[in-house]
């Protein structure tokens, strides 16, 4: 049975998964710079043939993924109606997804076909409908939510996530967007399946009970 998964969501010790005032100069919000260094270091180690706990979790995030879901804030820095349709994401002409990507937004635009097999689809449909479309596009593989925190929260509140991997880094931010706030009963159906640390991050994996 295909699953809905979240991987490599980096949070501070005090629970923030993005900084405040996200913009072109601060894609992840002010003060969030360097929070993903554990992952970039793991990717470099992976490319060099090295192993380790962080490398293992980065490798897992790419296994059996057939489609992706993300929020508008992850796709780009602009808010409100599109001034034009020239923005096609942070990742250049060949984004790293190589599959269909469903972007939650209240402001629709035509799908964008990129190099390498990535196509961005823009939708304001309910999460259940978007997930059904993503599973269809994934053709039997799993679907991954790329972020950001608000989008992950929507699927958690709806009880639709099968697996959530958090990388808790040893920093205190004190402000921004917290990941696990305002979930209500949405968190009740999950348990901690793994808790393991490296010098750079503590990895927590939540799964359905």
Both tokens assigned to 38: 């554990």
Q: Is 51 exposed, middle or buried (0-12, 13-18, 19+ CB in 10 A)?
A: exposed
Whole-Å CA distances, 120 to 90, 91, 94, 148, 179:
12, 12, 12, 16, 24
What distance in Å separates the CA atoms of residue 48 and residue 45, rounded to the nearest whole number? 5
For the chain, the average pLDDT equals 94
Paired with 104 in beta bridges are 71, 123
Domains and CATH numbers, the chain: 4-79+91-208 (3.40.430.10)
Task: Pick the more confident residue, 83 or 106.
Answer: 106
Q: Please state the pTM of the whole predicted model.
A: 0.93
pLDDT 10s digits, 40-97: 999 999 999 999 999 999 999 999 999 999 999 999 988 889 988 899 999 999 999 9
Whole-Å CA distances, 56 to 35, 52, 53, 59:
18, 6, 5, 5
pLDDT of 113 higher than 90: yes
């Amino acid at each position: 049975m295909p699953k809905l998964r979240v991987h490599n969501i980096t949070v501070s010790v005090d629970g923030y998964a993005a900084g405040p005032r996200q913009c072109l100069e601060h894609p992840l919000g002010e003060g969030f710079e360097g929070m993903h260094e554990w992952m970039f270091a793991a990717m470099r180690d992976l490319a060099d043939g090295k192993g380790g706990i962080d490398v293992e979790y980065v490798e897992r995030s790419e296994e059996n993924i057939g489609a992706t879901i993300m929020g508008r804030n992850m796709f780009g820095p602009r808010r409100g109606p599109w001034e034009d349709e020239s923005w096609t994401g942070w990742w250049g002409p060949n984004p790293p997804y190589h599959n269909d990507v469903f972007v939650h937004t209240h402001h629709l635009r035509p799908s964008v076909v990129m190099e390498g097999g990535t196509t961005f689809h823009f939708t304001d449909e309910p999460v259940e409908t978007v997930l059904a479309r993503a599973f269809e596009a994934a053709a039997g593989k799993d679907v991954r939510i790329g972020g950001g925190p608000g989008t992950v929260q929507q699927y958690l509140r709806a009880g639709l996530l099968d697996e959530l991997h958090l990388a808790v880094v040893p920093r205190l931010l004190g402000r921004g967007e917290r990941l696990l706030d305002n979930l209500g009963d949405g968190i009740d159906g999950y348990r901690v399946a793994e808790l393991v640390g490296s010098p750079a991050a503590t990895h927590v994996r939540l799964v359905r009970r």
